[in-house]
Amino acid sequence: MSAGFSRTDGLLRCDGVALGELAERFGTPLYVYSAASVEAAYRAYDAAFAAVPHRICYALKANSNGALLRRLAAWGAGADIVSGGELAAALRAGFPAERIVFSGVGKTDAELQAGLDAGIGEFNAESEEEIRRLSALARRAGRVAHVTLRVNPDIDPRSHPYISTGLRENKFGVDLALAPELLRRARALPGIEVAGVQCHIGSQMTDLEPVAAAARAVAALSRELLAEGFALRSIDLGGGLGIDYTGEGAPDPRALAARVLPALEGLPRKLLLMLEPGRSLVAAAGTLLARVLYVKENRGKRFVILDAGMNDLLRPSLYEAFHRIEPVVERGRPRAEVDVVGPVCETGDFFARSREMEAVEPGDLVAVRDTGAYGFSMASNYNLRPRPAEVLVEAGVARLARRRETLADLLAAEVDG
Ligand code: LLP
């Protein structure tokens, strides 16, 4: 049986554990993760790139639950972080500092300093100004910062516009053509060592041609820099591999390697290939479990109202993202077209619109699938709703990985104004 979620005897389970039991034990809404599924995804990446020196730096933004992070760190993954908060979470989970890369277009001085203090492996710089700030801070601290420059190759990832990052009009990276000049200046700065070039052109990419084109562009630039005497030690191709949300199929790490590795031919063998996958490691490993509160009809339209809302899972509202939604217990009821919505006071608070699914009734449990990535990590307290609990299932045992927030948590940071 493959790791993760599957149905036996009509019951949806996570690695053998019936989701209904988890709802009883931990309440709803509830995020449920399969450790085995994350491990299988990580190992698939590791195996796919075994032909070259590589490091899989998990992008914490997809899901920064400590239980998952500790396991990824133990399996040998590196970490791709974008904030001081993620730096703290990565260090706490046991990622060795030298396996941490710091990405992000707007790092503050305090965040750069924290990265320097921790001795992280690389800063993925996004502008010359950032490298200058880093140089000043590194010099003051008597440290050397290894910098990889994020370039913007102006390639369309053919994904949702909100998660496209590699086009000229996006705020990310620096113009590919200007990179050599910029790096010549950067190399002369005190406290800076140019370690390599990085790019990340988008997320949920299922067409690998743009990824291959970006890899070719970054490889060509790396060759040029090496020929000029830059002592590059890595090449970072970012994350972005899509997953199969709809059941129509999606490429896997092996397919990615088949497109990317040929682009790197001719580069020195010792160059470390870095990847920054987030979604493709954890999305399929997670399900959001929710209970049906009400089913109501409005002028012939049927609404299924869940106890989970857009504050718990924002992707459908923000990107019109598709997530499979299934009753946890299949009862063979007739199918019907419904809108699956949450309790939040927004028309945009929906999980699916005009979706055909088996009829459900108040009290039934439903599973919103493939929500291990950008689910909890994008959750908020909108409508003063406590964020859900998270549970990790490992070897048939379910453990709480983050308790449900309480009303006291929601108000804890307020001061008398
Ligand atoms: N590296 C960098 C520099 C990134 O900006 C990202 C994602 C990743 C790696 C990881 O990408 P992944 O492998 O997960 O595609 N909230 C959106 C996705 C935003 C992705 C932002 N950057 C969603 O729910 O679809």
Q: Tens digit of pLDDT for each residue in 306-356?
A: 999 999 999 999 999 999 999 999 999 999 999 999 999 999 999 999 999
Provide the phi-psi class of 161: left if phi over 0, else alpha when psi is between -120 and 50, else beta: alpha
Question: Which structural domains are found in the chain, ordered by start?
Answer: 5-33+283-411 (2.40.37.10), 104-275 (3.20.20.10)
CA distance 284 to 5: 8
**In a mutational test of the pocket of ligand 1, which residue from 83, 203, 274, 377 has the highest number of ligand atoms less than 8 Å from its CB?**
203
Find, among 212, 152, 211, the residue nearest to 177 by Cα. Answer: 152
Is 345 annotated in the active site?
Answer: yes
Give the active site residue among 14, 57, 199, 345: 345
The candidate with the shortest Cα–Cα distance to 385, out of 321, 323, 311, 327, is 311
Look at the pTM and tell me if it is higher than 0.75.
yes
Cα 232 to its chain centre, rounded Å, is 27
CA of 315, closest atom in ligand 1: 24
For ligand 1, say whether the CB of 280 is within 6 Å of any of its atoms.
Answer: yes
**What are 355-414's pLDDT values in tens digits?**
999 999 999 999 999 999 999 999 999 999 999 999 999 999 999 999 999 999 999 999
DSSP state of 403: P
Q: How confident is the model at residue 170 (pLDDT cuts 50, 70, 90)?
A: confident
Tell me which DSSP letter residue 405 carries.
Answer: P
What's the whole-number average pLDDT of the chain? 96
What is the distance in A from the centroid of ligand 1 to the CA of 373?
9
99 in contact with ligand 1, CB cutoff 6 A: no
Helix and strand counts by DSSP (H, E) for the chain: 12, 21
pLDDT in tens, 228-265: 999 999 999 999 999 999 999 999 999 999 999 999 99
Provide the CA 184 distance to its chain's centre, in angstroms. 33
CB 116 within 8 A of CB 138: yes
Q: Is the pLDDT of residue 110 over 60?
A: yes
Question: Does an H or E element contain 345, and which?
Answer: none
What do you get for the CA distance between the two ends of the chain, in Å?
A: 57
